[in-house]
Amino acid sequence: MGRQYLKVNSIEELLTNLGKPGGMILCGGTDLVVKMRSGLLSPELLLDISDLPELREIRKTGAQIEIGAAVTQSELLASEIVREHLPLLITVLSQLGCVQIRNSGTLGGNLVNASPAADSAVPLLLLDAEVILTGSQGERRIAVKDFFRGPGKTALSKGEFLRAVSIPLPNPELSPFFHKIGRRKALTIAIASLGALLHVEGDLIQEVRLAAGSVAPTPIRLRRVEERANGKRVTASLIEEARKLALQSVSPIDDIRASADYRRTVIADLVAHLFEGVLHV
């Protein structure tokens, strides 16, 4: 039997078909189609959710911003809500792929793919975001930090899908920082990336949050560095401590793009660069 394609028109229709053998969600397809062409995946039933209204909204409700899983990266970049309240997400997405990829790629798809190098995961970790998962038993919320279980693995149960991402409004005094190192300037998969939210007064760090990609089985927060730096004045000694803690906090692998040692060095250097910038303001 050949592969079947279904344009899904409702959440109920999606849930009914998602539990069928070989059923897989298609939305944008920037990751899925590549894996299908390479033979890594061979779904029997493609469920196209790209036009489901419930998954296409960006809305601010109280102290939360909810982003539907099928919202494209280009739509996020153009959103007044996102631009006003989530500058870090704008900073990261503006460096993600090319225009064609951003026009098709979705926030939900990038998360479900669960790549250790998923750029969008870094700001969501820093923003303490949650994913909203929907299944036949109802909805449940889980922190983004708990959603990733390993390379290509998530907390999704059989028959569940990621409906939306919920992000608490951040402190507007937190300034965004994001830098990734790759082998090319364009269309690059990060060899290592560092994101940060930083509030400083003079040389005093009021609050810092740090997250890294491509340096562990999943994107991670650098909690030990945060704990050491929060509430402290930036000195040469603190910068060196932060560098060492960053080295100890990551567990990268060797692959065709870079060695584990190089990735550790990159993250340590980026952390040091971030704190050195405080002294140079």
The reply to whether 73 and 120 lie within a common domain is yes
Q: How far is CA 49 from CA 2, 6, 85, 175, 273, in A?
A: 20, 9, 27, 35, 42
Q: What is the pLDDT along the chain (281 residues), one digit of tens a residue?
A: 567 888 999 999 999 999 888 888 888 666 666 677 777 777 788 899 988 999 999 999 999 999 999 999 999 999 999 999 999 999 999 887 677 778 778 899 889 988 888 888 999 999 999 999 999 899 999 999 999 999 889 999 989 999 999 999 999 999 999 998 875 544 456 788 999 999 999 999 999 999 999 888 899 999 999 999 999 999 999 999 999 999 999 987 777 677 888 889 999 999 999 999 988 75
Could you give the CA distance from residue 223 to residue 168 in angstroms, rounded to a whole number?
A: 19
The reply to whether 68 and 162 lie within a common domain is yes
**Last residue of a domain, which of 168, 183, 202?**
168
The reply to whether 212 and 246 lie within a common domain is yes
The reply to whether 201 and 244 lie within a common domain is yes
pTM of the model: 0.90
The reply to whether 206 and 137 lie within a common domain is no
**Last residue of a domain, which of 137, 168, 199?**
168
The reply to whether 137 and 221 lie within a common domain is no
What is the span of the domain harbouring residue 30?
A: 4-168
Residues, the chain: 281
The reply to whether 85 and 209 lie within a common domain is no
What's the structural domain count of the chain?
Answer: 2
**Last residue of a domain, which of 116, 139, 168?**
168
CA atoms within 13 A on the CB side of 104: 13
Alpha-helical regions (H) of 192-233: 223-229
What's 246's domain CATH number? 3.30.390.50
